[in-house]
Chains A and B, each alone.
Chain A
Amino acid sequence: GENVEQHPSTLSVQEGDSAVIKCTYSDSASNYFPWYKQELGKGPQLIIDIRSNVGEKKDQRIAVTLNKTAKHFSLHITETQPEDSAVYFCAASPLGRGGTASKLTFGTGTRLQVTL
């Protein structure tokens, strides 16, 4: 089955700096890669996702890159703010029947702390 590794497990940056979180996956059948942000006591919130036919996607301060050959993808957060502090999870998923949602395999999470 799919295995997703995520690094680093903790990351501390100063406000305004950039943060990068990296993930690798094992199953070449995976072609959908979402990133979730989880705040204390809440469920994961989707912040950005990328499909395997795209190498990079950007949404304001957040960007994700995908290298299918190397089987790794990364989350980039620029101009970090204190409210970015949370646990971030990457995930991978193969194509479901009819292109529908399939099981997500998650990484172990990165605790991001943005200090003033």
Chain B
Amino acid sequence: DAGVTQSPTHLIKTRGQQVTLRCSPKSGHDTVSWYQQALGQGPQFIFQYYEEEERQRGNFPDRFSGHQFPNYSSELNVNALLLGDSALYLCASSFSLLGRTQYFGPGTRLLVL
């Protein structure tokens, strides 16, 4: 049973560029949440997708956007990258009908220079 997978594992971008990160949920899961984890901090909630719609959003600017596909996989897009966007981006999946347990992927490490 495949767990949550994310790609790429590492990414280096420069300020002002745009980036797309990808997530495939755990088999059988239909809800995807994205979190940003700065070095030495706990993960911070960005947004959650269910039924291809953004259902909840944290305190992140509109530069952060996402998408969920019919196969439940998801993308996180960040425009106009800032140095402060450097972080580990985590995807978590859950199953809408079985409660709120969220399982995390290994993350994508983004470095903005």
Seen from chain A, the residues whose Cβ lies within 8 Å of a Cβ on chain B are 1, 4, 6, 32, 34, 36, 41-46, 49, 89, 91, 93, 96-109
Contacts and interface: CB of A to CB of B under 8 A. Distances in A.
10 contacts: A41-B106, A42-B106, A49-B101, A100-B31, A100-B100, A102-B48, A103-B58, A104-B33, A104-B92, A108-B41
A100 B102 CA distance: 10
- Pairs A-B, 10 closest by C-beta atoms: A106-B42, A101-B100, A101-B94, A43-B104, A103-B45, A43-B106, A44-B104, A100-B96, A43-B107, A106-B43
A104 B34 CA distance: 10
Interface residues of B, number: 30
A102 B42 contact: no
A101 B106 contact: no
Contacts of A46: 101-104
A42 B106 CA distance: 5
Contacts of A41: 106
Contacts of A32: 100
Contacts of B44: 106
A101 B102 contact: yes
